[in-house]
Structure 1
Amino acid sequence: ALPNITILATGGTIAGGGDSATKSNYTAGKVGVENLVNAVPQLKDIANVKGEQVVNIGSQDMNDDVWLTLAKKINTDCDKTDGFVITHGTDTM
């Protein structure tokens, strides 16, 4: 059986987007977790992936409240999943 993985999305760089492929403007936290998961169809071959959008902010706006929400979510759901992936931006790496 495939492992069950939960992606907890917070926005940031990985969820950034621009107005077009030819323009250089960029906004962090623009793309939702379902779009991110759907962009990598091969994931279904290696895991049962569930995405949850916790927040959709730039990582410069990450704060203790969001971290606490993530910790509580992981604590609550740890018996239901084999692993978690938290998407985050590059500003706080």
Structure 2
Amino acid sequence: GAALALPNITILATGGTIAGGGDSATKSNYTAGKVGVENLVNAVPQLKDIANVKGEQVVNIGSQDMNDNVWLTLAKKINTDCDKTDGFVITHGTD
């Protein structure tokens, strides 16, 4: 039979420790939100086998800086793009 089309997934990245860089979250050289969304996607090459994944860096902030404006931006982005993608993943916080 014909192969099924892979779903289109959009990753909306907002920073946080999942995108942190440095030795560890307890070291002085650690920075939350240092790694961009493309680096996160490229870190899991198997994603291409299960979905067409597109990453978008909405903001790149620490958890303490998340606020209603960021959540509203995310909600508007999802509302605008929901007809062009099969699902969304929002990354933020602890990995």
- TM (norm. structure 2) is 0.87
Alpha carbons of structure 1 residues 3 and 17: separation in structure 2 relative to 1, 3 Å: same
Structure 1 segments, 4+ long, off by >2 Å, are 19-25
Alpha carbons of structure 1 residues 9 and 22: separation in structure 2 relative to 1, 3 Å: closer
Segments of structure 1 that go 5 or more residues without pairing to the other structure are none
The two structures, once aligned, show a CA RMSD in angstroms of: 2.5
- CA positional deviation for 1:90: 3.6
Percent identity (aligned): 99
- CA positional deviation for 1:26: 1.5
Q: Deviations over 1:38-91 (max 9, x none)?
A: 110000000000000000000110001100000000000000000000001149
- CA positional deviation for 1:7: 0.1
Alpha carbons of structure 1 residues 58 and 22: separation in structure 2 relative to 1, 3 Å: closer
Q: Larger radius of gyration, structure 1 or 2?
A: 2
Q: Deviations over 1:18-38 (max 9, x none)?
A: 069996741110000001001
Aligned residues: 91
Segments of structure 2 that go 5 or more residues without pairing to the other structure are none
- Provide the secondary structure at the position in 2 that maps to 1:70: helix
